[in-house]
Amino acid sequence: MSFADLFVSKAHAIAWVSTKIIQNTKKTTAPTAESSWGFFDTVGLWFSYAVNILIFVIIFFLILKLIRLLYEIYTSKRLVYIQVSLPRADSKLDKEKETKKDFKEKIGIMSIFYKAVHKINELSFVDAILNMIFNHAKISLEIAYNEGQVHFYLVTYRECSTLVTQQITSNYPDAEVKIIDKKDYIDIKPAGYTLKAVSSGKVNTDIFPIKTYKYFEDDPLSSITNAFWTLKKTDKAVFQMVIKPLGQAWNKKAKKWASLVAKWQYKKWIKASLWMELIQKILDPFYWILNRFINNEETAGSNAPGASGWDSYKIFNQAEQESHKAVWELAGQQWFQASIRFLVASLDETSAKEWLHNLLSVTWIFTDEYNNQLDDPRVSEDLFSFILTPIRYIAFKFKLIWLLQNKSVFSIDELSTLYHFPDINYNKSPVIKWLEYKMITPPSNLKSPREPLILNDYKRDNFWNIYTKDWSLLKVDENKNLFKDENKNFVLITGETVNVEKEWDRKWKPTDDWKMPISEEAQRYIWGFPLFKDWVLMWVNEYRNIKTPIYFARKDRGRHHYIIWKSWGWKSVFIGYLARQDLWAGDWLCIIDPHGDLVEDVISFTPKERAKDVIIFDPSDTERPMWLNLLDIISRDPNLRAIEKDRAAMDATSIFIKIFNEEIFGPRIQHYFRNGCLTLMDDEDEGGTLIDVPRLFVDDAFMKYKVSKIKNPVVKSFWEHEYANTGDREKQEMIPYFSSKFWPFITNTTIRNIIGQPKSAFNLREIMDNQKVLMVNLSKWLIGDLNAQLLWLIFVSKINMAAMSRADIAEDKRKDFYLYVDEFQNFATDTFGEILSEARKYHLALIMAHQYIAQIGWNKKNDGKPSIKDAVFWNAWTIMSFKVGAEDAEYLEKEYAPLLSQQDIIWIANFTAYCKLNIDNATTRPFDMKTFWDNTYKNKEVTKVIKEYSRKMYWRKKEYVDMEIESRLWIIKSEEPKIDNESKASDEPKI
């Protein structure tokens, strides 16, 4: 419809009304000259009134538009950005659960969402007023292409966001509904990009619908997402539809018009263009005033067919009947006012224009020949793009319902057709960003801790800065510790330097006492979540946009904790989170780290009050080797000592079988080795070490001396009968082969100085009972793979023996001791299986992690005993899996059934885990947890101090150790080097 046609039609209407005025005036006025002049005066007066009213209406209309625009721009800072992702749900299990017949039923779910959000303009009285004056109740529905993937967003005001997210999660329970920060939202106009944009809307009168999903043979969303697929990965594009609910007045009009359409009394008209619409809005009030001035005007359409008597309906063809049926069906639905925009940004203008035209061509699929279609304004928009593109960008950025563009009215079915969430069965476009894993609600019996974990901390302001005695504020670093400049001095937030002492007696204390930080008791937090006594914060479950912290109770941790994750995962980070919380809570623990980074990280979180509790075992420090003797018996009770000797001999045998395999370390060698260990341990005066075992078989004097100390008659019989009667040839064949298994450790100075000392540097039973912390750094890159493996296995054996020795005290007096073992497949011996099955009653709890199940064996062993894998899954009541391989996922699917499939387990997102938690001696249904990164309370400087303290307290200087071991190897009668205890104490660092 052209501007001239519109203007002529309005002029004709005004002329017709004016004629009616003249006719009515003639009926009541005498035809005199004076009355004629009076008539023209009256017409002129009424015309001036009409013009004034028209001007007032135009000004009011423009001011209202301006106010609404400014309001929407001002309140855009309160917009909430919601990202919706759905799982692929294409596994066999998901397909078996599918109940929807076709894509139409799937799209129909979205109509329920629109029905619910139609009430956002009536949330409260204030919202109703704001919506009446401004465009307050609105939602921006967006499909965005960014970095090669298609994302689905909804943007609305904060007060409406709860309703929107709840309705999404109610209708799409498996969806991830995430409120994102604006910086994570698409930047449609980055530097160096060219932006092109157009708007769209209905071509014909709004009462006539576009083609809806009910009349499609395939999901129309596929056409939109496939259009995005043609874009380059560097390009950016958005399909935006800003909607605002309309009230009951529009529904009444829609029903009235639908009735007129059925009687052929209401025909579709091409909607006026933007500028014609403005002219129409200016002329409409004037026409309305003149029309209402006539009281006896003829009713429009009075001569239409069926206007009198019973309505007579025109006979339509089938297509017309279907179109009228569609109008009737949609007239009873809720309606939304909407504005549609397409935006594309590319590195060059030609590509941006080409991709925009490709996206815009998708609108033709919504054409209903007998009803309506979306317009394609590419010609006019291209012509005035230098003006319209910035306007479209502003409208997109602030989510404006109108800004110099076509507004249309859509029913719920039409909106559901244009914007709905994808389904993998019908939308197979490779660019859709799917939620790769299934989100599961946390267990209903999840416990809530109550008693907070208190620590000695500094008094801080809201930004974590630290108060001094004179109420100045000291600056903090990224870990919220005291910031220190290059000279190790403190700094005030004003930039002023606070000098500190560097001597031991006042080290790190300000020279000015008034600048001393104020200490106070405070509660600890990780990632904003509080910590509690006797609980550890694992991670957070985020389901339906609700974050639920997962706390694990002390009483439930005793049934062991199993973690599996591929390499380059967060196993060590997760273990570190748990270990630091145990450290803060004053618990007893041991960490065995095959890489070293985990130990370094946990030490840096040590609070001052626990600094002296930490013992660090680091075999790579060759200057001060620490002693560790597997054959060192710690029990004092004679009966328990005998049991511990047998256990130590069996453990030592298992260790060498683990290292050399049973084919090499065969039954005959095992027999010799076991008796040798028992022989050395029976000498309770001098004891023995692993490097002394081969010496029993090659040094007759040493063997006779040790045999004289034997108390075990069976072991003594071995030497006096079995070994004494062994032929020389057999000894010549067996003994060198047997001894060769020990020479890698005897000739290696590093490992020899550790395992070659008869007394261990620390007593693991005392560590368990006396609130100590043992950090074991067994980095194989520093000490060698074979040496690291031997020490790993010795530690596990020693810890097991220490735990079993707790049988001499009542169970209620046994303190919980947490053993963290990373890459625990290195310790997978029968001893480790025994810890899993037996240690719980001695309050030894394992937290074990590794990479894949095959590392710990799949099947039962040849002797019929369960494998380590069986022991793990039978005894670990808390199971966590991060990203795993297909073979492991197939096995874990049985653990997580029926909620999770193999594909769910494989495709879980990075830094996310599925977990079955032990609560009240019962394993929960699986649920997912998200990880977080938080280094609050980390202090790298404390690591150096604690290391130095541990070195001087528990380690010996290398020269003394060398002298002792040389003396033992060659039976040189020399006096034991004396260590000056006073000198050792003087070396103790002050903490």
Among 227, 200, 237, CA closest to 344: 237
- Does pLDDT of 273 surpass 60? no
How many other CB atoms are found less than 10 A from the CB of residue 948?
A: 15
Q: What is the pLDDT of residue 351?
A: 92
Type of residue at 940: K
Q: What is the pLDDT of residue 303?
A: 40
Could you tell me the two tokens for 763?
Answer: 């007593």
Q: What is the pLDDT of residue 781?
A: 84
Average pLDDT over residues 381-406: 88
3-state SS, 609-673, equals: HHHHHEEEECCCCCCCCCCCCCCCCCCCCHHHHHHHHHHHHHHHHHHHHHHHCCCCCCHHHHHHH
How many other CB atoms are found less than 10 A from the CB of residue 130?
A: 18
Q: Distance between the two ends of the chain, CA-based, in angstroms? A: 88
User: What does the alpha-carbon distance between residue 955 and residue 616 come to, in Å, rounded to a whole number?
Assistant: 10
3-state secondary structure of 163: helix
User: What does the alpha-carbon distance between residue 703 and residue 697 come to, in Å, rounded to a whole number?
Assistant: 7
User: What does the alpha-carbon distance between residue 222 and residue 214 come to, in Å, rounded to a whole number?
Assistant: 15
Per DSSP bridges, beta strands 561-564 and 844-850 are: parallel
Q: What is the pLDDT of residue 523?
A: 83
Q: What is the pLDDT of residue 24?
A: 52
Among 116, 129, 202, 108, CA closest to 160: 116
Helix (H) or strand (E) holding 547: strand 546-553
Q: What is the pLDDT of residue 637?
A: 79
Spell out a b/e string for 204-225, using b for 16 or more CB atoms within 10 Å of the CB, else e. bbbbbbbbbbeebeebbbbbbb
Q: What is the pLDDT of residue 299?
A: 41
| CB-CB contact of 261 with 371 (8 Å) | no
Weakest-pLDDT range from 34-48, 130-144, 861-875? 34-48
Average pLDDT over residues 115-131: 76
How many other CB atoms are found less than 10 A from the CB of residue 233?
A: 10
3-state secondary structure of 876: coil
Q: What is the pLDDT of residue 300?
A: 40
- Residue 759 pLDDT class (50, 70, 90 cuts): confident
- Does pLDDT of 237 surpass 70? yes
Strand order in the sheet with 912-916: 546-553, 535-543, 927-930, 912-916, 878-881, 561-564, 844-850, 817-822, 588-593, 773-777, 614-617
Task: Judge if the upstream peptide bond of residue 209 is cis by omega within 30 degrees of 0.
Answer: no
Looking at 665-712, list the stretches that DSSP marks H as alpha helix, in order from N- to C-terminal side.
667-682, 693-698, 700-707
Looking at 822-932, list the stretches that DSSP marks H as alpha helix, in order from N- to C-terminal side.
830-838, 868-875, 886-896, 902-906
- Residue 397 pLDDT class (50, 70, 90 cuts): very high
Q: What is the pLDDT of residue 293?
A: 53
- Does pLDDT of 541 surpass 90? yes
User: pLDDT tens across 701-734, in order?
Assistant: 889 999 999 999 999 999 999 988 888 888 888 8
Could you tell me the two tokens for 709?
Answer: 């100390």
Three-point CA angle 537, 541, 542, nearest 5°: 140
Residues of the chain with CATH 3.40.50.300: 554-611+769-775+783-911
Q: What is the pLDDT of residue 28?
A: 47
Find all residues with CB under 8 Å of 682, minimum gap 6, and list them.
645, 706, 709, 710, 711, 712, 715
- Does pLDDT of 864 surpass 70? no
| CB-CB contact of 598 with 575 (8 Å) | yes
Higher pLDDT, 318 or 628: 628
- Does pLDDT of 898 surpass 60? yes
Weakest-pLDDT range from 673-677, 705-709, 959-963? 959-963
User: pLDDT tens across 596-648, in order?
Assistant: 889 999 999 998 889 999 999 998 888 888 888 888 887 777 888 888 899 89
- Residue 506 pLDDT class (50, 70, 90 cuts): low
Q: What is the pLDDT of residue 975?
A: 46
In the block, which residue shows the tokens 């001007």? 55
Among 127, 231, 196, CA closest to 396: 196
User: What does the alpha-carbon distance between residue 881 and residue 562 come to, in Å, rounded to a whole number?
Assistant: 8
- Does pLDDT of 340 surpass 70? yes
Could you tell me the two tokens for 884?
Answer: 């795993």
- Residue 20 pLDDT class (50, 70, 90 cuts): low
Q: How many CA atoms lie within 13 A of 324 on its CB side?
A: 20
Higher pLDDT, 53 or 676: 676
User: What does the alpha-carbon distance between residue 72 and residue 75 come to, in Å, rounded to a whole number?
Assistant: 5
Higher pLDDT, 984 or 239: 239
Backbone CA torsion sign across 132, 136, 137, 139: positive
Q: What is the pLDDT of residue 905?
A: 93
User: pLDDT tens across 566-578, in order?
Assistant: 876 577 889 999 9
Q: What are phi and psi for residue 566, nearest 5 degrees? A: -60, 165
CATH architecture of 554-611+769-775+783-911: 3-Layer(aba) Sandwich (3.40)
- Residue 241 pLDDT class (50, 70, 90 cuts): very high
Question: If you average pLDDT over every residue of the chain, what do you get?
Answer: 83
In the block, which residue shows the tokens 């090669």? 148
| CB-CB contact of 971 with 702 (8 Å) | yes
Three-point CA angle 171, 173, 176, nearest 5°: 110
Average pLDDT over residues 868-882: 92
Average pLDDT over residues 947-959: 85
User: What does the alpha-carbon distance between residue 437 and residue 571 come to, in Å, rounded to a whole number?
Assistant: 19
Q: What is the pLDDT of residue 152?
A: 98
User: What does the alpha-carbon distance between residue 640 and residue 782 come to, in Å, rounded to a whole number?
Assistant: 37
In the block, which residue shows the tokens 């996206």? 359
User: What does the alpha-carbon distance between residue 717 and residue 700 come to, in Å, rounded to a whole number?
Assistant: 17
Average pLDDT over residues 555-580: 88
Q: What is the pLDDT of residue 412?
A: 95
pLDDT-above-90 percentage for the chain = 36
| CB-CB contact of 757 with 965 (8 Å) | yes
3-state secondary structure of 852: coil
Highest mean pLDDT among 36-40, 263-267, 913-917: 913-917
User: What does the alpha-carbon distance between residue 675 and residue 692 come to, in Å, rounded to a whole number?
Assistant: 12
User: What does the alpha-carbon distance between residue 502 and residue 298 come to, in Å, rounded to a whole number?
Assistant: 102
Q: Judging by beta carbons within 10 Å of its beta carbon (0-12, 13-18, 19+), is residue 467 exposed, middle or buried?
A: middle
Q: How many CA atoms lie within 13 A of 179 on its CB side?
A: 18
- What Å distances lie between residue 566 and 594, 601, 870, 881, CA to CA? 16, 21, 20, 9
Type of residue at 265: Q
User: What does the alpha-carbon distance between residue 674 and residue 665 come to, in Å, rounded to a whole number?
Assistant: 12
Weakest-pLDDT range from 260-274, 825-839, 853-867, 872-886? 260-274
Helix (H) or strand (E) holding 576: helix 571-584
User: What does the alpha-carbon distance between residue 121 and residue 216 come to, in Å, rounded to a whole number?
Assistant: 32
Higher pLDDT, 986 or 277: 277
- Residue 37 pLDDT class (50, 70, 90 cuts): low
- Residue 304 pLDDT class (50, 70, 90 cuts): very low
Q: What are phi and psi for residue 342, nearest 5 degrees? A: -120, 130
Q: What is the pLDDT of residue 473?
A: 92
Higher pLDDT, 917 or 856: 917
Average pLDDT over residues 796-824: 88
